[in-house]
Structure 1
Amino acid sequence: QIRELDSILAELKGLKRGRLNIAVVSTANYFAPQLLAEFCSQYPEIKVSLNVGNRESVLKQLHDNEIDLAILGRPPKGIEVEAHPFMENRIVIIAAGNSPYASESAIPPTRFQDETFIMREQGSGTRIATEEFFAAHHVRIKTGMEMSTNESVKQAVQAGMGLGVLSLDTVMLEVETGRLVVLDVQGFPIIRHWYIVHRESKRLSGVAAAFKKFLISK
């Protein structure tokens, strides 16, 4: 009740003050801080709490009503939410910079039959998209290792332990420096969207409503 009163007072002060509690999946952490910095430059006295975790932990915070907003790669099922897309999420196949696949173009998905992939954990949005894609093309891939973070996936792929599938947002630096390469595969990139999500029944504070509007209007 005290927090809600603070939010109402912040609204009356024209968003000069207030607090935003937001949780993002780990992949979104590659761009969320920049968006928050841009938003906070307009409202410098606003306080922000940014929680970064895997999809399961973010969904738990959303379910338990511990946060104002969440950024997810796909809206959850089983929770009544409002979800609005605000930015493209391009999912790509990556390989080590010296991979023989690097020089090929328009690689058919069937070339990856029984190929070893370094995968994110079960339930990850990226993993779900990957498994759906290859299942639709009747291609069986092998999970060489299962990683809980994007950084671990990138390190394993750089070491030549297998291919990986990640959001393009997470690999830009490694691609620019030649440590990783984005493969030219038919059907890729998989185009998804990032969503700003909140509980359907939640009364958003002025700060949270303003940040939601800020993202959707970009």
Structure 2
Amino acid sequence: MRKSLMRLTLRQLQIFRAVCEHRSYSRAAEEMALTQPAVSLQIRQLEELLGQPLFEYIGKKLYLTDAAQALKQAGEDILDRLGSLDMQLSDLQGSLQGQLTLAVESSAQYFMPHLFAAFKRQHPEVGLQLTVVNRAQVIKRLNDNRDDLVIMALVPQDMALEFLPFLNNPIVAVAPPEHPLCRAAKLSLQDLQPYPLLVREPGSGTRKACEEYFQQKRAHFAQTLEVTSLDAMRECAIAGLGLAILPRHAVSQQLAQGALLELPVEELPLYRSWCAVHARGKHLSPVAQAFLAFIRDERAQISALARRFADAAHPSAG
């Protein structure tokens, strides 16, 4: 091994990782609570130790060199192993400690905090870093090995992944109470076609699932309004800007309050399973292993949580 590599510090690796993630010295400095010159100095010292440049600017964009890609992988391995060591030492002391890093598709953001809270009751010293993104961003994070686990539906078949399905994600059609379709006792997808439909942005898992299902059912919506978040889509539906086809968990409160009504569409709900996903062969931390064991073994708790959401959406059924 080169003697110069033995002079690498963990702090340098952390700063380097921040620059890689943000592709920006200034944003990395903000994250690390440093000045931008301090970040630049640490990167220059790293380049001297490696004997190769780590970044290059093309136009106004920062790109990683081959040396940076190699250091990024090695740095992630080192920092992950140290995190695992910390958790293992805590486990030997009789308590599971550490942080679970989760990236979740936006359709799961309403349920996952409750699921993690149930897990945390068993392991009170575990922390959570939760990032909410759309499906395309989840896939990018999987490729970049950014998280312990990701929560998504429609797991890509062209990637080497391990996944554990753990809960159905029912997708339903909703409208405000004054909408004419709310007076119908039974509807088909074709009955919805004359009305404007709110849709998520390209890259959304909910949009992908719905488009594939509409194609299968030969339903075509000529009038669509694109909305880039579930919360905004829900508010647009309440405002009467269009029908929405959304995860039931995302609108449970609005259904319970009567701000939205679930339309009795014969072909709905559309069910997709939420899955806990990680790269095949990934070294999982003890916290990630414990969380996977929890969602695998505590089906009764998860079902009870799901029923709470269902009862909130349909209070008369409880």
TM-score grouping bracket, smaller chain normalisation: over 0.9
- What residue number does 1:172 align with? 252
User: Per-residue deviation at 1:34?
Assistant: 1.0
TM-score by length of 1: 0.94
User: Per-residue deviation at 1:70?
Assistant: 0.4
CA offset digits 1:156-215 (Å, max 9, x no partner): 111111101100000010011111111000110011110000011201111101101111
After alignment, is 172-181 or 17-26 more displaced? 17-26
Q: Partner of 1:139: helix, strand, or coil? A: coil
The question of whether the paired residues in 1 share the 8 Å contact of 2:172 and 2:245 is answered with: yes
- In structure 1, runs of 5+ residues without a counterpart are none
- Identity among equivalent pairs (%): 34
CA offset digits 1:11-42 (Å, max 9, x no partner): 34325212211111112110111111111121
| Residue 145 in structure 1 maps to residue 225 in structure 2 | yes
Residues of 1 paired with 2:249 and 2:223: CA distance?
A: 23
| Residue 215 in structure 1 maps to residue 295 in structure 2 | yes
User: Per-residue deviation at 1:108?
Assistant: 1.8
* Letter of the 1:94 counterpart: V
Matching of residues 41-80 of structure 1 within 5 Å: 41-80=121-160
User: Per-residue deviation at 1:101?
Assistant: 1.0
- What residue number does 1:116 align with? 196
| Residue 189 in structure 1 maps to residue 260 in structure 2 | no
Residues of 2 paired with 1:86 and 1:77: CA distance?
A: 18
Residues of 1 paired with 2:138 and 2:213: CA distance?
A: 24
Larger radius of gyration: 2
Residues of 2 paired with 1:40 and 1:28: CA distance?
A: 18
Change (3 A) 1:143 1:81: farther
Change (3 A) 1:67 1:143: farther
The question of whether the paired residues in 2 share the 8 Å contact of 1:105 and 1:185 is answered with: no
TM-score by length of 2: 0.65
Residues of 1 paired with 2:213 and 2:136: CA distance?
A: 22
- What residue number does 2:111 align with? 31
The question of whether the paired residues in 1 share the 8 Å contact of 2:101 and 2:147 is answered with: yes
The question of whether the paired residues in 2 share the 8 Å contact of 1:86 and 1:196 is answered with: yes
- What residue number does 2:63 align with? none
Question: Matched residue pairs, number?
Answer: 218
The question of whether the paired residues in 2 share the 8 Å contact of 1:71 and 1:194 is answered with: yes
Residues of 1 paired with 2:229 and 2:272: CA distance?
A: 20
The question of whether the paired residues in 1 share the 8 Å contact of 2:97 and 2:126 is answered with: yes
The question of whether the paired residues in 2 share the 8 Å contact of 1:16 and 1:45 is answered with: yes
- What residue number does 1:106 align with? 186
Query: Where has structure 1 moved over 2 Å in runs of 4 or more?
Result: 11-16, 76-79, 112-115
* Letter of the 2:225 counterpart: M
Q: Partner of 2:109: helix, strand, or coil? A: helix
Residues of 2 paired with 1:123 and 1:72: CA distance?
A: 13
Q: Which has the higher contact order (CA 8 A, sep 6+)?
A: 1
